[in-house]
Structure formats: structure tokens, C-alpha cells
Structure 1
């Protein structure tokens, strides 16, 4: 880490300034993947802050997937998530242009729950209980989107199924014959940033998809995509 570069002053919080300085070094390559950082006390002395301030900064960077920390061990720099392209298909679903590193982490697998926008989109009574599937989508092990699927009918989920394809390919949703979508951009919530390993306030694309069968709404899919990592393309434009 270079010592002739002052810490950024865009934040009044010292730990965020420390995190910004370390983040800049990681993203620029001055701190290489696999490199171990100095201990918190030594790093604090170099940057002119207390060790607990360094510890707070490292927790932020760990949430963003930029460092790995462990008790009584020096923190290790991780490979930043690479930029990627995702295709929006005619069925309104997203698939990475390079499917070789596809993966997902299930958070909910057909658990009961409710959601006001989903209930309204599905034209159900207020507080209707829905079947909820939620997963973090991965590319080469790094998260790029959070998907939450709501359906009035129970979902039977096989852990090997790809979230963006099944359960649309099997079960009661396979008969969907149309859909509508709405798009927006906003800052990701704190919970979304934690799940997507992005820094707080990262911009996100939000896509809300309602699927229909015989003009009856049968599914509601919320997809939150990391805008700092993902370029979304269609067959006609990006």
C-alpha cells in the first residue's frame, strides 16, 4: 500500500475513509489478490488511525468481497469480482452471456411469506400467503444478482435447478404464456449490499416481472442486479 496517497475525505467517518483508501489500492492492483495486509495495529499506525477503526474498515471491505478476515490472522486481499454481461431473453429472464461459471446460493426454497407489491401484482387479497423462493445468483463464485420469486401456489424446488430457468421450466409455472416487466434504478439496500458483496450505496437495477397464464397472474419475480458489475443486453440494444 502506497503511503504517499492521502486517505479520501469524501466521508466524515474515519473507518469509511480507511476503507476507501484500501479499496482504491485493491481495485487499482497496488494490493494484489492473495496479498496479506499488515496487522491492524501496524496498518493503523501507517494511516494515523486507531486499530479499531482499521477493524471497522476491514469489515466493510469483507462485506464487499474485497478482503478475507479471520481471528488472529492477517487479512488477505481477494480478487475483485469481474465485470460481466447478462442477456435479457424474450421470456423476461436473465442469463449470463458466459454460462460456464453459473451458480446460485439458495436463501429460501418455497418458504411461506408475503410481500405487498407481489400480492398486488398477483391480484390477491391483502396479506395473502405466498410461496417464496430467494437466491443469490453467482458467476465464477461472485454474486451479481438477488432474485426473489413469489407464487400463489406452493413451489417444489430441486436444489440443482437454476433459479432463472426453473421453476418456469417445470411444475405449475411451465404454462406461463405472457409476462410484463418494469425497470428501475436505485441504491441497493444495506441487506442487498451485504448479500451481493457490494459497498453500501452501490447502484442497482431493479426488474419486476409478472408472469401470466391465460391472462391470470401466476408469478412475481423481483431481480436486483449489481449495476457496478453487470451490463444487461437485449437482442436489439444494451
Structure 2
């Protein structure tokens, strides 16, 4: 049936996504060529190409020049626990990992500046990473501190930020969280479809009642169940 949306590539992506997630299109299966798909759906081949690029960003298909696109295994759902220290950890840590984006680079952020009670033009040390489970992104984590991060372990400032280095001296924390649509950049980093809902968890750490860290964790709500104690 011809596409009638103002954004036909999103409609094509939605149709293919539904077939992948339902299992109608199996992992490893090759899709028809862009021209053939376009004829079936009543759209131009370049519209199909746009849709495939969108699905590739979501980790649902693999594309390559002069080859047909291949369906990938959809990311499985995972469970993570919000611990008493205010940090999220996967229930199965054995298959977890991360991709560093920033490693202590200087930067700033309005929410972090307010939470850390520093001057608006203060330079903060920023550590950012995409958290992975079975190689697929499930969260984006950004840590801001007024002091430079000098930890040596590759994951110490993000995946396990308060087990080594100066941040281990934190003696209390406060956190709050809510749900919102992911930004375009977050969708790209998390390989999620446009409009995906994310949980945003904001944690402020204190040492002797002085704020010393601001940790922002953005979690894919379509893939992750967060448990706190016996609740989720």
C-alpha cells in the first residue's frame, strides 16, 4: 500500500521494524533490494534507503555498499538494579561493557553547574560513556566533577565511578528521575528509534555535605527494566 505520511521514510521504517520485532523477518535474512522494496511499498528507492539508514542506527539492520541489507537480532530486554548508592548495575554484569565518548575532558552543563553550586563559567571535568549489554547500548552516562578526574581504571569514572579515586570519599547522595523522549543525539548514541522514551536519573554526590559529583544516566525505557528492592 502506498505511503501517505509527510515522512514516508519513517513509515517504511515502521513497517520493516514491526516485521523484524515480530519475527516475520528473521535475524540473518536479507531484505529485497531498495528498488524492489520501493515498488512494493509505493515509494522511491531513496526513501527506502533513508528508512534503512534509520533502522541501521537502531541496530536492526546491517547495510553495505552493493549488497542487500541484512536483518540483525533485535536487542534483548535486560534488568538493572538501582542500588542504595544511587548507581545502576545490570543484573548480569558478566556480559556488560562500555564505549567511552569523553574521558575527563573539560566542559560544562547548566544542570551540573546548579547541582554542584559552582560559578556558571566554571570548567568541569566530564566523563561520558555508552553502557553496553551483549554489545548493545542500554544507557548513556555522563559524570561531571569540579575537580579533574585522575582515575586510572578505564571504567572507573563511569561504569563504577565511586569505587576508586577521590570520589570514593563521598558519604551521601541525592537522586531523582523521570521519563521523557530521547533527544536526536541520544537516539543515535543508544541506537534507538526516534521518539524512544528514556528514563533520566540525576544523582548528586556529597562529601561532608558539599556536592562533589553530578551523574546523569539516560536509560532506554524500551529495553531496560529498573528494579529498586522488590519493585520495578
- TM-score normalised by length of structure 1: 0.93
Aligned to 1:198: 192
Aligned to 2:59: 65
- Aligned partner of 1:145 among 139, 145, 166: 139
Q: CA deviation at 1:14?
A: 1.1
Q: Structure 1 pair 163/71, CA: closer, same or farther in 2 (3 Å)?
A: farther
Pair 1:183-2:173 in alignment: no
Alpha-carbon distance between aligned partners in 1 of 2:218 and 2:133, rounded to the nearest angstrom: 15
Distance 2:2 2:226 in 1: 34
The 8 Å contact of residues 64 and 197 in structure 1, kept in 2 or not, is answered as: yes
Root-mean-square deviation over aligned CA pairs: 1.5
- 1:136 match: secondary structure: strand
Q: Tell me, what secondary structure is at the counterpart of 1:81?
A: coil
1:173 equivalenced with 2:186 (yes/no): no
Specify whether residues 75 and 84 from structure 1 end up closer, same or farther in structure 2 by C-alpha distance, changes over 3 A only.
same
Which one of the candidate residues 203, 210, 227 is aligned to 2:221?
A: 227
Mapped partners of 2:151, 2:24: distance in 1: 44
Distance in 2, matches of 1:62 and 1:7, equals: 23
Deviation at 1:170, TM superposition (A): 1.0
**In the TM superposition, what is the alpha-carbon distance from 1:158 to its structure 2 partner?**
3.7
Q: 1:52 to 1:132 in 2, by over 3 A?
A: same
Task: State the partner residue of 2:71.
Answer: 77
SS of residue matched to 1:31: coil
Tell me the distance in 2 between the aligned counterparts of 1:209 and 1:45. 51
Displacement after TM superposition at 1:183 (Å)? 0.8
Aligned-partner SS, 2:63 = strand
Q: Secondary structure of 2:29's partner? A: coil
Counterparts of 1:1-238 in structure 2 under 5 Å?
Answer: 6=1, 11-158=5-152, 160-161=154-155, 164-238=158-232
CA shift at 1:47, angstroms?
1.5
Please state whether the residue corresponding to 2:205 is helix, strand or coil: strand
Deviation at 1:164, TM superposition (A): 4.6
The CA distance in 1 between the partners of 2:88 and 2:3, in whole Å, is: 36
Q: Please give the secondary structure, in 2, of the residue aligned with 1:204.
A: strand
Counterpart CA distance in 2 for 1:110 and 1:71 is 37
Aligned partner of residue 45 in structure 1, secondary structure? helix
Asked if 1 retains the 8 angstrom alpha-carbon contact of 2:129 and 2:140, the reply is yes
**TM superposition shift of 1:206:** 0.3
Deviation at 1:235, TM superposition (A): 1.2
TM normalised by structure 2 equals 0.96
**Structure 1: gaps of 5 or more residues:** 1-5
